[in-house]
Amino acid sequence: MGANTRPFKEAVYSELARLGKAMGSPRRLELLDLLSQGPKSVEVLARETQQSIANVSQHLQTLLEARLVKFYKRGNYSMYRLSDERVLDLLLKVEEVGEWLYRAIETERESWIHPLDSSRPLSAEELDTLVKDPDVVVLDVRPRDEYEFDHIPGAWSVPLEELEQKMAELPRDKQIVAYCRGRYCLFAAEAVQILRRHGYRAIRVEQGVREWRRSMSVSRGGL
């Protein structure tokens, strides 16, 4: 027998387990998902997740200690963002494996989206072709700060809450393609429902900006 490697194993896997502990909360996973769209203040995160500021702050402290997020000040606001692109990679992989393991995720997702829009959504690859089409308008229906942080080139920013009041600005002779935060976001499905009700030709993209960028990077040999 060689040297006792148990202390080494305990030390290494204890460090790795910090990730599991930090991500082992539905609330913290949702916070990471929101932060994958761009930096946000504690107040915005509390409003988005319908939690108290105190509760959100506790969850953020756990994520901060695990080094999954970073903190900075913007004026009087405490701002948080993902600590690195690799955290986004991890989050996307957790979602991918989770859907592979647990059918209930897709069942729940479809039960919410199908009543809003039962048509087949576009894939990220199909969107990449359509963004170059002059007869297509790509609509980003996320909050404007997320659009400003990152968006699909050429997309128009029309947050869902402003859609009905700004609908007259949308061309009726073009195909409208709406996207939002990704597979666990209902904004695009709601937008398509509203647009169709007003006579527009509209379809949604299932993925968001983060998935679209990775899909394009892979297809072009970037990853």
3 state DSSP class of 74? strand
By residue count, the chain amounts to: 223
Dist. CA 110–CA 117, nearest whole Å: 10
Is-contact 210 36, C-beta < 8 A? yes
Packing angle, helices 26-35 and 85-101, rounded to 10: 130
Task: Spot the catalytic one: 180, 188, 205, 209.
Answer: 180
Strand order in the sheet with 175-179: 156-157, 136-140, 175-179, 202-204
**180 annotated active-site:** yes
Q: Which positions are catalytic? A: 180
